[in-house]
Chains A and B, each alone.
Chain A
């Protein structure tokens, strides 16, 4: 009889312990979801893209490369100057445009257009690209990235995009 009471008491304790641990787990999950959500927030939003005007098509000289700057889509009020992005805009001789990302495909440093040498050069690790964005020398694993570009009502428009991130399997071709 007394043994049975002890057994019931034991199973009651085990039950209560399970309940408390379960409630603790529930509380943890309830807090974790918003916290981890905030941590992973950048992955949850969708990629914003937008066409932005960078100048009148006729103002760019054929055969030249110009640095154009624009704002990222939907900049936050607290972004300040960090909302800006630049692109090297090349106008060909057939009034065609290519908009290169300024980021070196090696590790993302800003490449400079050296007009006389007709080359893009990176100050970080010596990456060099030809005027068409292909790799001329140095460590870059692939050509310069390009943004989409269009002429709209006589204006050159660039489609904004993420900072180009080179992946493991990138090739120079």
Chain B
């Protein structure tokens, strides 16, 4: 035992643990920095989880356009613990995005970005962008037909940049088309480039915690004054501070552990997202959709007025990022308490509601044609169902794709108006005019339907009342 202690002392002397590392671990944290302060460290725990499971997955994954899909099938169905690993990496990504979001909201509501922690906020914004980049490139490495089309969709968004758009798109795809270089480039970004940047900025982000201290929970009326803040903060720590380890860190440890246990549980109970068709760009019967954290943006693309959309795609991201980076410079002193900053709280609530709505509507995707619509059953339609003209009209309503976008009695799509009671709103001649000419967001069917077909379809619709 004595020998071990000697070795320990020798190591400590040569490496300087007690001298240099221990003070960092035991640095004083403000009192009352309790459960609202655990989300940053939970993000870090998720990052570590992602690194570890990512390394494990890279033992099995083949990062080539031609083989990745087969190796994913192998990981999911044959490799030891492969399915659980994929699951943990997937839910770990979700957890990290979620924790980053909550952490950021907490920092904003507590105005912890004010003096002297402006650079913590700036590095945090960069880390948020890198996390989103990791999420996007990661879901793409799930190289099935969804992965292929996700990379095309991303390239199209880049294409909206003026002058250089075409080249950025080409750079992203690794060529003019999807091909041998596409996946290996995304793999390199996901596994080397972005993680290296994340390590740099996480290092800075953590260093700044030691440099400027953990922000104290705000109190209404206590103003941040850059001239006196540092002295006041040091004084407060001396009087009431608690050592970070173990007095504050036990909450981070407990919460982080619970988050990771929840992620592993989801991975075991629900499992990773299923792979769909092979990554063949010539296979087009697929409905590309991103993972949940990208769905709000996906919804926005469907709901924006088309006239401004291209401009929004190219202008909004840089403007939003600029605004976020500018925040601590626009307001770096004064009140920190959310009680005294009601508009900040209101803004956060609005953004959260907005994003949640876009997420929910994104899963319903009412703007998309319902390709799998089934012919209307007799029970769903009104009018004289024995009439042959009616029967023909009912059939045409399904055959000509009307049902992809219009509902009757719960059958069909949501893109156009519900036609269950259309007979009450339009008479026979108006229905015909609408079908032939189309509308602001409806194709004209004048060139597609014969006169008989038009009569039958209009007759059927006019009886729906």
Contact = CB atoms under 8 A, between A and B. Distances in A.
Given A107-B156, A119-B443, A163-B173, A79 B301 contact: no
Given A109-B152, A116-B400, A126-B367, A79 B310 contact: no
Interface stretch (A15-23, A58-66, A70-78, A149-157): A70-78
B167 A86 contact: no
A123 B373 CA distance: 13
Contacts of A114: 401, 404
Contacts of A123: 286-288, 368-369, 371
Interface stretch (A2-10, A24-32, A89-97, A130-138): A130-138
Contact residues of B: prevailing secondary structure = loop
Contacts of B283: 86
B438 A76 contact: no
A142 to B, nearest CB: 10
Main secondary structure of the interface of A (DSSP, over half): loop
Interface in B435-465: 438, 441-444, 447-448
A118 B304 CA distance: 26
A168 B281 contact: no
Contacts of B65: 78-80, 82
A85 interface: yes
B161 interface: yes
Interface in B50-80: 64-67
B165 A139 contact: no
A82 B443 contact: no
Contacts, number: 205
B149 interface: yes
A84 B281 contact: yes
A1 interface: no
B301 A106 contact: yes
B165 A109 contact: no
B176 A161 contact: yes
Given A78-B64, A82-B66, A141-B310, A47 B180 contact: no
A80 B153 contact: no
A40 interface: yes
A163 B152 contact: yes
B423 to A, nearest CB: 23
Interface of A: 40-43, 45, 47-48, 67, 69-70, 72, 75-86, 102-103, 106-112, 114, 116-119, 121-126, 128, 130, 136-141, 161-163, 165-170
Given A109-B288, A119-B401, A125-B298, 18 more contacts: A42-B170, A43-B167, A78-B67, A79-B179, A81-B280, A86-B282, A102-B284, A106-B301, A112-B284, A114-B404, A119-B443, A126-B367, A126-B415, A136-B443, A141-B306, A141-B309, A163-B155, A165-B170
29 contacts: A43-B170, A72-B176, A75-B180, A79-B179, A80-B66, A81-B281, A82-B179, A83-B179, A84-B281, A85-B281, A103-B156, A107-B153, A110-B284, A110-B285, A114-B404, A117-B400, A117-B404, A125-B368, A126-B415, A128-B443, A136-B443, A139-B306, A141-B306, A141-B309, A163-B177, A163-B178, A165-B169, A166-B159, A168-B162
